[in-house]
Structure 1
Amino acid sequence: MPTSSFDLIVLGAGSGGVRAARMASQAGRKVAVVEESRLGGTCVMRGCVPKKLLVFGSRFADDLADAQGYGWDIDNARFDWARLVAAKNAELNRLETIYGRILRDSGVTVVEGRGRLLDPHTVEVGNRRLTAPHLLIATGGHPSLPRLPGIEHAVTSNEALDLMQLPERMVVVGGGYIAVEFAGIFSTLGVAVTLVLRGDGVLRGFDQDLRAALAEEMARRGVAIRAETQVRSIERTGKGYSLRLSEDEVMETDLVLYATGRRPNTAGLGLEEAGVVLDGQGAVVVDAYSRTSVDHIWAVGDVTDRMNLTPVAIHEAMAFVRTAFQGQPTAMDYANVPSAVFSQPPLATVGLTEADAHEKFGAVDVYLSRFKPMRNILAGREERTLMKLVVDPESDRVLGVHMLGPDAPEIIQGFAVALKCGATKAQFDATVGIHPTAAEELVTMRDKRP
């Protein structure tokens, strides 16, 4: 069996793996990256990017409806789901080609196939063996399904991205960001969506005011939210599927999408045999520098189940290269990492929630504003924007910025810089707003919530 030697072998060509491979190669190391599926990984091929393209496609329904309030008559508008999916797939093919070119131009060897550790320094891929003094595990995660009768009839986010046609009725099980994003996409395109979740509301872990406001807006858009409800079984019928819920209620639907969580891709990689410690969920256990229990084996991204966001995986990868190859031990800073949910309407947040701030600082000042965005006035749309600041009264430092409404992710990205710099409420107040915009509200809020 042929054997090739490298300085670094990366398992997984997702966002974290690709960034690490490129940086290590540019630092003069001989690098191989092993990928069994598509270059780009979950985010580019099965997550953030294709999902955002579907969000864009669905939002034209709002644009067409709102246009009448602005003097436009658009006759015979027609939506073709198959065309949108085909266009999305063409873009993914283009991106995969770009990822391949970037890796090759960076001097990285791409090895197609599933890698498995034979020992702490050797990876087997098909009939080929690769050896290196350093290994990086960046294999990401995959959708997980619970064990219940009939679960084989459900689809996950992977399959939902490639449906051949839109159903008339759909049940989305879950209350996290993937669930609410897909609920928004399909309901905006005319599908009757029911969101079934075990908890008391959507987006557990986000600020409570944002959670409540999003649930209200989703209901306004026609999404039926069934909180504190569990699916007991799924049965295929002649017309679709029958779900038996808690309290023995039966719900009929045409499609069941499960978005109840993801698990790290570690099964069958030979990690435990090589001495790498995994936690109870199968995630690779690492220290602050992304080093595993085996000194020369490292891990970044969703496979570690720390903070499962694409930009975080990229920063972890850069910190790994600095630590392992550039003599600059670097730990990822997880404070004030912004995040967004591309729900409809979208939300974004950076910093502490009100509840977390109370727990950490005791008393806090809260500034909150809810208003109808200017665009919605002539359109006759009732949807409202929410903005919220959480402030430490002792230092006046802004601890959290939260927003629900159009352009929330774009707006919060800028304010994330302010929080990273330790901005105070007085500095927010001293900033001149751009009028008329929604963003100016974040620098004009003066009254504390009692």
Structure 2
Amino acid sequence: MANTAPVLTVQDFFDGNPDVLFVRFVVVDHGSVLRVSVMPRKATLQVAADGSFNTNMSVFAVGITVFDTANMQALQVGVDKIVPDWTTLKVCSFYPSHAIVMCAVREAGKAEASDNDDGGFGLCPRSILAKQVLHAQQAVGQDILVGLEIEFLLYKPGTSDFTRPATAHANFNSTFLYDDALTRVLDDIAQTLAKADIDILKYHPEGMGPGIFEIALPPYGPLQAADTAIYCRETIKTVARRHGYEATMCPFPFEQGNVYQCLQASVSVSDPAAADYFLSGVLGSLAGVGAFAMPSVLQSDQRLACTASRQLASWGYDNKSCAVRERRPGLWEMRFSDAAMNPYLTFAAMIAAGVAGIESRRELTVKPVPHMLDPLKVSKDELGITDSIPASLEDRLARLADDNVLKAALGSRVLNEFVRLKRSEIEIASGMTVTEINERLRLIF
């Protein structure tokens, strides 16, 4: 007998939201690009009845690069299926005639359940994260929460010089409030998110340069946090455009200089008694986690000079110069991630590394850094700092491929396919100018 519950759920949603005429079915691929199908009500109800719908390729999760070229080595015969998670169905408060539902992707020819334990969802980012959240609960009794700080640049299209940033800084500076137009954009973003039950804690200008702002969000379960990061990206970019601005979360929006926008995750565990083990696990796999958290082809030795201290496998009590800032035992701000990351894969890697540390009772040998960290002067031996996140994406990918902890937790195929996709992007980018790369990444992120 067919399962009618999804149809009833969707019909109830339509009945309660008569202005919604279309639904956006969203898959976030490994490159953190939103792949979207928009369907009217009748077609949406049919998907609810069928349980899924076909894509145009396989393997969909890794089949396209961030530059919208085919990742030919990953493609195979058949078409994957998109499987909506109807619990995520909500009105697009930034475009109220549309609703949005987050989806999983199941590979071609795979049944919903199989003996290989992934049911065809082995490369699906949402499914990968859900599996790690469940493992943390079942294996070590930890409920994980993730808070977010999202940085973005607001600019007027056609009037901004992206060859270099302006020289003035504006960290927490009230001068931005003098610009009524800019304040209206930020207020509208906050109010639009509130209509979607996303209540931001605050917004403020960031110190990297004029027009760069940050919104801080409360903690959510990891899957909801990742969904929220995507919803915020869509909201910020849509609302900004409505006001005549463009918004981008591109890590390096300018072609020169060290302006680096982050998307930082604050990760907490429910039982702080195991906090040091979790932290030790994250630091032990920091280079591999960094490949997921910092996946842009723009990142290099020169571009990352402004955050070099945060590349060291270091931590400190409320020390913002470290890769990991401990706010309290069991709550850490991961200060090395940016908005080019796929949040599902990045959170999954952070959790996997931390949980592995708990399972192995990995000793925390790295000492807390008691001062602002200067990577050129720090005494690594005294602090027990033995590793770092490589500056080049290729080197980060190499470290990820060799990380046995992440390989055991996420699966060698996940790591291999992610590495292959990113290496394909590196090859494509080698034939592009910095201007061309920036224009593409500013559009997507």
Fold match, TM over 0.5?
A: no
TM-score normalised by length of structure 2: 0.29
Q: Which has the larger radius of gyration?
A: 1
TM-score normalised by length of structure 1: 0.29
Greater fraction strand:
1
